[in-house]
Structure 1
Amino acid sequence: MKKLTTLLSVALLGATMSSGAYAKDTLALVISTLNNPFFVTMKEGAEKKAAELGYNLIVLDSQNDPAKELSNVEDLSVRGAKVLLINPTDSDAVTNAIRLANRAKLPVITLDRAASRGDVVSHIASDNVAGGLMAGDFIAQQVGENAKVIQLEGIAGTSAARERGEGFKQSIAKHGFELLASQPADFDRTKGLNVMENLLAGNAGVQAVFAQNDEMALGALRALQAANKKDVLIVGFDGTQDGIKAVQGGRLSATIAQQPDAIGAIAVETADKILKGETVEQHIPVPLQVISK
């Protein structure tokens, strides 16, 4: 009996050592900000897929600060991450962080916002140009050709702001819109409110607003409500929970819906393929759709 007990103890110890010997690989997600529902949902999508595939996932918040972003990537060099998933604070500024990862032989995947330079294995994002054009098409359908419009832009220097603006610019030419004003509000709800208030002072005849994300759209909504301009059509972008809720409640006219959870999940799946030595696409598009009431 004593011999059997000893054998069982050895077997259990061996099993424990065996399971500990095969530690999970670690992935890192460096995200521009977690003070935005869109990126929180992206993080949650990545976390869910990482758990499903058996990876540890380190999540670091750059707080919309390129210096913090670089510090986050430097930190990963001692944390054993095998792949870097990064949602850039700025497409140009992120270059230093990506080159740091390149020197460390750490494969890089960009999410939602592209990087201007540096070696990136794969970029996962919606077609922002197509989304900007879709927003303009919706405005034309609802208000008509030659509508008087205002655009609230995102953070200057991000690929998302640049590409969404390019798509909307195409819709302006396509539908003959009169662009009364176009000004950055940095993807922020409070700034969207303040900028919209200022723009309304000289553009009382506005018929529609395109905000390059839902946060700015919701800020613009408050400014328009305060000015008693309830007939102005507002189109946001991202399809966040707050944005969709506002559309369903009839307060926003539409949102161009991304799938941030899918972007996060696909990024982890792509990292998994890279670690298995499989070939991945350089650009992986995630579908968009117009959500309206």
Structure 2
Amino acid sequence: MIKYILRRVIQSIVVLFGAVVFSFLILRVIPGDPAVMMLSDLATPEEIERVRQSLGVDRPIWVQFLVYLKQIFTGDFGVSYRSQTPALGLVLGYLPATFQLAAAALLITIVVSVPLGAVAAIRKGSWIDSLLSGFALVGQSVPVFWLGIMLILIFSVHLRWLPTSGQGGLQHLVLPAVTLAAAQVALVARIMRSSMLEVIRQDYIRTARAKGLSETSVVVGHALRNALAPVVTVLGLQIGNLLGGAIITETVFGWPGAGNLLVNSIGARDYPVVQAMIVISALVFVVTNLIVDIIYVILDPRVSYN
């Protein structure tokens, strides 16, 4: 198992380096000059050139990349062009709100989708199974921004049960978390149903029933653990989708998270902040999937380490 983990760590490092290169290059091919965006329309060419020199964007691209790598290894992503504060500190200040939203959405996904998928598999062909199929179709088809607006209209404008935007208590978290989790619940519940259907057809499940075990013991003690293996993998992959979807959700609900910061920083060509955000997001995604891979082999010992 140690060799398996080491191999996955090396693969994760390669992926993370690819994200670093991507985050550097993608901003350099976008039209626009950060020096021009920082100055007024009345700025002279000399003033623009001085700002470009102070930002280091007048250097050759390979020099900028080497400086960028040095900054990453030292934990220094530079200073935000807009706020003149350390980019890493700025991003880390906004991340807790995004993680709070993503964690709430992930919790809703697990609590709702796993039991729903398992029950739909056990009651195959029933109204619960039909309901799940319809919900899965709708949940993965509806755009996040449209669902968020509809929830605001229903629960905030008409019923006045929940606030429309902002961050505060639990009531502020409900609508954004449900909006972000809707598509994930639909996907994970469908996968849980398929996995559970495959497991309950296995010989050891029939043997457990033949031994006189109750249906609850068979499902919870024997079927559920094996059915969860592919679900855990999917949940790990959905971490990236949750962080990506949080950008739209935060915009709709005015949630003060890193998604709003990223959108504004891209518009302002604030290289240090965007690069810090991309690298940190990639790090979270890579580490999460590494943990999921380890959990997967614990849940299913049949997975080869070779």
> What TM-score results when the alignment is normalised by the length of structure 2?
0.25
Normalized against structure 1, the TM-score is what? 0.26
Whose strand fraction is larger, Structure 1's or Structure 2's? 1
Task: Name the structure, 1 or 2, with higher relative contact order (CA <8 Å, separation 6+).
Answer: 2
* Higher share in helix: 2
